[in-house]
Amino acid sequence: MKLYYRISDSSYKKEKLIGTNKEICLMNFVRCFNEIIFGKNGPPNDSWVPPIKIIADRCDRKTNKMLLETGLPVEITDLGNAGSLIYSIKSSISDCADDEVVYFCEDDYLHKMNSSQLIEEGIKRCDYLTLYDHPDKYTSDYNGGEFSKVIKTESTHWRYTISTCMTFATKIKTLKEDIDIWEKYTKENHPHDHQIFTDLNKEKNRRLAVCIPGSACHTDLEYSGRVGKVLIDSWAIEMMINQLMNDLKNKTIKENIELICNNKNGWQKLVALDALYKSL
């Protein structure tokens, strides 16, 4: 498996899950895909090149410095959202063999530790897959849900879905056969993700699967704001609660944390911890 991680400081300005930023999402990604990036038993030799490429598109000097200090392969580009996506896709086609699995990831996702295993399982049952179970598929936008076939692999269940965002996995052979559609919808600055996947299904008979429950969570709060309800997965909220708790241990006494979080759980607890952190 090879990983293509796109990060940018010129992203759309949207509210994100409290406690997250681009560095935290990247750290989470590297931790969850550690065995892929560094090998199961560590780098096998001194010439080991990690199977990851970070596309740093329109990043400021501080972000580029942070990325270069990771020691991971970084390419600095100035292409925009759609431009960096099609660049990543074409780079993967040049870099990888036809049967190789590739995972493209944007810079505002959190992942669970089993993500790489799920990709390896799921890609055997579909043409494209996503680990993000988008909450919009369960709202009035889709009449409360999609009609779909559900399948099971060793670790989880999957269902086929109509579309997803630009964080997904596939095989190089599939990308080569579908490159005309990817090029068609990346000519402007915004990659038209919904149209891409609906056309892939209509014109190429491609199947897109999503694991249920999801193993990745988009930190974008825009859709939550649109429907007036927090739709971030509870595990991602708990992940950020633990992150803030660890940060606060060095800045305040335990009693203050217990006082401000009294009788609070989930989103309310995260908001309270964030307010305490910002007050110090």
pLDDT of 21 reads 94
pLDDT of 248 reads 81
pLDDT of 192 reads 93
Task: Name the most confidently modeled range: 43-52, 199-208, 261-270.
Answer: 199-208
Q: How confident is the model at residue 251 (pLDDT cuts 50, 70, 90)?
A: low
Same-domain pairing of 213 and 247: no
Same-domain pairing of 249 and 120: no
Contact between 176 and 89 under an 8 Å Cβ cutoff? The reply is no
Could you list the residue range(s) of the whole structural domain that residue 53 is in? 2-227
Same-domain pairing of 49 and 124: yes
Same-domain pairing of 120 and 210: yes
Q: What is the mean pLDDT of residues 63-76?
A: 95
Same-domain pairing of 49 and 172: yes
Q: How confident is the model at residue 250 (pLDDT cuts 50, 70, 90)?
A: low
Same-domain pairing of 99 and 160: yes
pLDDT of 279 reads 79
Residue 46 has pLDDT above 90, yes or no: no
- Cβ-based neighbours of 177, under 8 Å, separated by 6 or more: 204
The mean of the pLDDT values for the chain is 92
pLDDT of 245 reads 87
Q: How confident is the model at residue 204 (pLDDT cuts 50, 70, 90)?
A: very high
Same-domain pairing of 168 and 203: yes
Given 209, 227, 245, which residue is the final one in a domain? 227
The count of residues in the chain is 280
Residue 262 has pLDDT above 90, yes or no: no
| Domain at 26, CATH number | 3.90.550
Q: How far apart are CA 205 and CA 171, in angstroms?
A: 15
**In the block, residue with structure tokens 């740093």:** 56
CA-closest candidate to residue 11, choices 47, 49, 54, 56: 56
Residue 19 has pLDDT above 70, yes or no: yes
pLDDT of 44 reads 74
Same-domain pairing of 75 and 209: yes
Q: How confident is the model at residue 226 (pLDDT cuts 50, 70, 90)?
A: confident
- If one counts the domains in the chain, the total is 2
Given 211, 227, 243, which residue is the final one in a domain? 227
- Cβ-based neighbours of 130, under 8 Å, separated by 6 or more: 161, 164, 165, 167, 168, 169, 208, 209, 210, 211, 216
Residue 253 has pLDDT above 60, yes or no: yes
Q: What is the mean pLDDT of residues 118-136?
A: 97
Residue 159 has pLDDT above 60, yes or no: yes
Q: How confident is the model at residue 252 (pLDDT cuts 50, 70, 90)?
A: low
pLDDT of 141 reads 85
Same-domain pairing of 182 and 66: yes
Query: pTM (2 decimals)?
Result: 0.93
Q: How far apart are CA 103 and CA 1, in angstroms?
A: 7
Same-domain pairing of 129 and 216: yes
Residue 48 has pLDDT above 90, yes or no: no
Same-domain pairing of 127 and 254: no
pLDDT of 63 reads 96
Given 227, 254, 270, which residue is the final one in a domain? 227
Residue 98 has pLDDT above 80, yes or no: yes
Same-domain pairing of 212 and 253: no
Q: How confident is the model at residue 254 (pLDDT cuts 50, 70, 90)?
A: low
